Amino acid sequence: AQSVSQHNHHVILSEAASLELGCNYSYGGTVNLFWYVQYPGQHLQLLLKYFSGDPLVKGIKGFEAEFIKSKFSFNLRKPSVQWSDTAEYFCAVNAFSGGYNKLIFGAGTRLAVHP
């Protein structure tokens, strides 16, 4: 079965620190990969997505992610975080299975950025 694993459940950083959140997936077919963010009290928003092409994907708010097919990974990075990046981050895989699309989410990583 498809699954998504996020290695860090809680991350605490100071402002201007660099961020890398790990995401590994388990699925043998064609995948589309997503990172979503959920700010406190708000709904999910798409940060970035990978469908094909350049494996280094740039998203909104200075985030980027790199798809490494051989490692089944899609890690999220940001060179310098801000306090406003405090949120929960979800990695997701869009797998086409049994005739249907499914979005499978990781458990999420709570990021707290201190001023």
Partner 1 sequence: GAVVSQHPSRVICKSGTSVKIECRSLDFQATTMFWYRQFPKQSLMLMATSNEGSKATYEQGVEKDKFLINHASLTLSTLTVTSAHPEDSSFYICSAGQGASSSGNTIYFGEGSWLTVV
Residue carrying structure tokens 């660099």:
18
Stretch that binds partner 1, among 18-26, 66-74, 79-87, 104-112 (CB under 8 A): 104-112
**Rule CB under 8 A: which of 16-55 touch partner 1?**
29-32, 34, 36, 43-46, 49, 51-52
Cα 38 vs. chain centroid, distance in angstroms?
A: 11
For residue 110, the minimal CB distance to partner 1 (Å) is 8
**Rule CB under 8 A: which of 66-95 touch partner 1?**
90, 94-95
Nearer to partner 1 by Cβ, of 52 and 115: the residue is: 52
Residue 22: burial class (beta carbons within 10 Å; 0-12, 13-18, 19+): middle
Q: How many residues does the chain have?
A: 115
Bridge partners for 58 per DSSP: 64
Which residues contact partner 1 (rule: CB under 8 A)? Answer: 29-32, 34, 36, 43-46, 49, 51-52, 90, 94-96, 98-108
